[in-house]
Amino acid sequence: MQHPDVCIAGAGIIGLSLALELHHRGYRVTVFDQGEPLSESSSAAAGMLAAHDPDNPPQLLPLATLSLSLYPDFLNRVRTLSGRHVPFQTHTTLQSVPLHTATASSELTTKDLTHLLPALTPREHRFILLDEHSLDPRQLASALLAAVHATTIDLRPHTPVLSTRSIGNTVEITTPSGTMHAAQFINCAGAWAAASSHLLNIPVTPKKGQMFSVVLPPSLPMHFVVRTPDVYIVPRTAGPAAGHAIIGATVEDIGFDKIVHPSDIDRLRSLAITLLPVIAEAHQLEAWSGLRPATPDGLPVLGAVPGQPNHFIATGHYRNGILLAPATANVMAQLIVGEASSTDLSPFSPNRFFAELPSP
Ligand code: GLY
């Protein structure tokens, strides 16, 4: 095997965005994935770039804001390499907020909502209007994969990383196809990041999300996202899924189970109907689930792995992997090349999970 500069485990949106960034900086990059690239949460996601969702931990905002600012360049790079344009699907989100936090200036009135969307019935919800984009993660996945294939990035599907160890200034990476040495190793394996024996101390666990898609009735010309803490409705307005909407999602702590239960989909549909009664008439297309990589504090884990020289980790993006991919690629590439970071990474330090370990 050749010796790349950097080896990445996990060809999801985080791993491949980082691979593109490092390739752009002149690095030789190999990416391993235990299955097909972009086939897990990267394609299951709804695609809301929800930097201002009130349910996000406040410490996430600087990284989320950085990522939003990098998104146009990220999509341009993907377009230049792949020839594929990934458009924003929506530009506005109606976000429900608890009554006590809605401010007079940002709060929409029922009249405003009726003007925007005649079908919306905000009986139990008060909404604010967010300038927020969404995109179709499946469109992005296919363009991103084409972009990676247009480079010299060595992408190896169906090749799990079995173990890694630091040897001098290199990392030895073992896969079923052999052993490789790289200067640096980055674990971007999402919900599976802690499943491999070499990173047992990082508490990343899967949080299952079930969701489904519908054909929007012609009476519902929907061009914006509607979101409450319990349900979201995300219309697709361009591309192969135009006229459809994604409705999600459950948040379940039951391990690596991806079974879709019709009763859970029915419950999501009932929640969506309380917001938009015409959803009751919408024909269901698909139902699926994804496994979000979650940490105990809801924040990503970005940085060097303590006690394992030349090992890095970038996972734990939970509900915001699509949003945070460009910023994660940016700050992790800065760490790898030894540049100062664009934003304070201390809230995301892997060290926060090691501080309480007993001394050996
Ligand atoms: N990003 C939406 C979700 O986690 O359901």
Q: Which of 316, 328, 310 is nearest to 185 (CA)?
A: 310
CATH code assigned to 89-133+205-294: 3.30.9.10
CA of 146 to the centre of ligand 1 (A): 25
Rounded to whole angstroms, the Cα distance separating 61 from 58 reads 6
Model confidence pLDDT, tens digit, residues 273-293: 998 988 999 999 999 999 999
Q: How far is the CA of 249 from the centre of ligand 1 (A)?
A: 6
Whether 311 lines ligand 1, by a CB cut-off of 6 Å, is: no
Q: Is any atom of ligand 1 closer than 6 Å to the C-beta of 227?
A: no
CB 315 within 8 A of CB 193: yes
Q: Domain map of the chain by residue range?
A: 1-86+136-204+295-360, 89-133+205-294
Indicate if the pLDDT at residue 272 is higher than 90.
yes
What average pLDDT does this structure show over 289-300?
98
Which residue, by CA, sits nearest to atom 4 of ligand 1?
Answer: 319
For residues 330 and 343, give the distance between their C-alpha atoms in angstroms, rounded to a whole number.
10
Q: Residue 57 Cα, ligand 1 centroid: separation in angstroms? A: 14
Residue among 305, 74, 308, 244 nearest 316 (CA) = 305
Question: Region 167-174: what's the mean pLDDT?
Answer: 95
Nearest CA to ligand 1 atom 2: 319
The predicted model gives 90-116 an average pLDDT of 66
Question: If you average pLDDT over every residue of the chain, what do you get?
Answer: 91
- 45 C-alpha to ligand 1 centroid (Å): 6
Please give the share of the chain, as a percent, with pLDDT higher than 90. 81
pLDDT at 360 over 50: no
- Measured from the CB, is residue 148 less than 6 Å from ligand 1? no
Q: Look-up: residue for tokens 């690095």? A: 27
The best mutation among 52, 140, 232 to test binding of ligand 1, ranked by most ligand atoms within 8 Å of the C-beta, falls on 232
User: Which of 292, 322, 323 has most ligand 1 atoms within 8 Å of its beta carbon, as the pocket-test mutant?
Assistant: 292
d(CA 235, CA 6): 38
- Average pLDDT (159-166) is 95
- What is the per-residue pLDDT across 139-149, written as a single tens digit (0 to 9) for each? 999 999 999 99
Q: Which atom of ligand 1 is nearest to the CA of 248?
A: 5
pLDDT tens, 239-268?
999 999 999 999 999 999 999 999 999 999
Which of 90, 319, 322, 324 for a ligand 1 pocket mutation test, highest count of atoms within 8 Å of Cβ?
319
Q: How far is the CA of 210 from the centre of ligand 1 (A)?
A: 9
Answer whether 321 contacts ligand 1 (Cβ < 6 A): no
Q: How far apart are CA 19 and CA 279, in angstroms?
A: 40
Q: In sequence order, which residues have a C-beta less than 8 Å from that of residue 80 and are 6 or more positions away?
A: none
Which stretch of 62-71, 122-131, 245-254, 292-301 has the lowest confidence by average pLDDT? 122-131
Residue 290, ligand 1, Cβ within 6 A: no
Please give the number of the atom of ligand 1 that sits closest to the Cα of 48: 1
Tens digit of pLDDT for each residue in 217-245?
888 778 999 999 999 999 999 999 999 99
Q: Is the pLDDT score of 111 beyond 60?
A: no
Q: How does residue 104 score in pLDDT terms, banded at 50, 70 and 90?
A: very low
Mean pLDDT of 83-109: 77
Residue that is written with structure tokens 């190793």 in the block: 185
Per-residue pLDDT at 269: 98
Domain 1-86+136-204+295-360 of CATH type 3.50.50.60 = yes
Residues 146 and 60: their CA atoms lie apart, in Å, by 30
Residue nearest to atom 5 of ligand 1 (CA): 249
For atom 3 of ligand 1, which residue has the closest CA? 319
| 45 touches ligand 1 (CB under 6 Å) | yes
CB 59 within 8 A of CB 299: yes
CA of 312 to the centre of ligand 1 (A): 25
- Supply the pLDDT for residue 109: 54
